[in-house]
Amino acid sequence: MCTEGSEQRADTDSGSAEVVDLIDLQAGINLAASGQNLINLIGGNGVDPQLKSRRAKKRLTSPLFLGYYAHILSPGGWINLKTDSKHLFGYTNEVVRRYGLPCEVSNADIYGTGYADEVLSVKTAYEKRFLEMGLPITYTRFSLAGRHKFPWFDWEEDEKAEKDNEEARLG
């Protein structure tokens, strides 16, 4: 299990592995359903954190999505999430903790700590914008370890009024 600030170096290069972006999840599900090779690496970058508790099921690391990933992720495969959202980062760490999932990396500021390697250093337009505002970019790498069932839970942090530096983000 990872704790915030874990500093193990992750191999973000998938080599010859099949890679699917979280945004193209349906393509991965279709690939698995067709009997083709399972996915070794799932990655997400610049995703919508879905801050409202009623939209929590749409978070890319929610129990609903973990169930989808379990169908396409190969045994030993990894889920990588790079985000500018403190809330999504915290939620993902809670998901990892709650389900006892193996976590290789949980870094709350990959640029500020010097963690970002050649692959992680590629910045989206949103990352550049939020870095200019002094907001950190986070990174989490975890595995489902063969688990397929993820019961729903309510996260107490969803009830807080301030979740994700909303005032700073408005510029």
The catalytic residues are: 48
CA angle 78, 104, 130 (to 5 degrees): 85
Kindly provide the b/e burial profile for residues 46-77, where b requires at least 16 CB atoms within 10 angstroms of the residue's own CB.
bbebbbeeeebeebbbbbebbebbeebbeeeb
Which DSSP helix (H) or strand (E) runs through 29? helix 25-33
At a CB cut-off of 8 Å and minimum separation 6, what does 127 contact? 46, 84, 137
- Please report the DSSP string for 59-125 in residue order: STTSHHHHHHHHHHEEEEEEEEEEES-HHHHHHHHHHHHHHT--EEEEES-TTTTT---TTTT---H
